[in-house]
Amino acid sequence: MQEVAVADKRLSPYRTIIGEAALSEILGLGDKLRGKSVAHVSATPYGGGVAELLQSVVPLQRDAGLDVHWYVLSGSDPFFAVTKAMHNGLQGGKVEITPEMVSTYRRTNEANASEFEDDFDFVVIHDPQPAPFVSMCERRGVWVWRCHIDLTDPN
């Protein structure tokens, strides 16, 4: 498991898009949460929608006054093949999840969860790849699972 470094971004340039009232509201909410710690946990630092989202969200949350970190899983090609199959199945694709695949998924998450120090006020788990963290980690703060995939018609 490793922390992802992100470039600084500021909320102020969004003023022309969202208006002064919305920016003031965001900054006011940030003031209420100032100093609170947040960990985002996802599969990879690049190559998908979650990574693109977090490249902006993490620095903008920091600019609002939160102590925000982004961690990604360490995993093998077989692990990512398993999670891709799960992803496809959750979106309705016909897939078979074997006991060996479940074992690979569990072992990889156990290894990553053992490295994760839950010392955060909020933890956001993104998508199915790190979902087992919820049961594998001691949960001190508030935990949220954020699913970015369409679960309308899972298989």
Going along the chain from its start, the domains and CATH numbers come out as: 2-146 (3.40.50.2000)
Mean per-residue pLDDT for 1-9? 96
Mean per-residue pLDDT for 16-31? 96
**Measured distance CA(37)–CA(58) in Å, rounded:** 11
**Measured distance CA(100)–CA(106) in Å, rounded:** 10
Phi, psi (rounded to 5 degrees) for 94: -85, 110
Q: In sequence order, what E strands does 19-84 have?
A: 37-42, 67-72
Residue 38, by phi and psi: left (phi above 0), alpha (psi -120 to 50) or beta? beta
- Predicted confidence at residue 154, as pLDDT, reads 81
Is the pLDDT score of 150 beyond 90?
A: no
Tens-place pLDDT, residues 31-81: 999 999 999 999 999 888 899 999 999 999 999 999 999 999 999 999 999
pTM of the model as a whole: 0.92
Is the pLDDT score of 155 beyond 80?
A: no
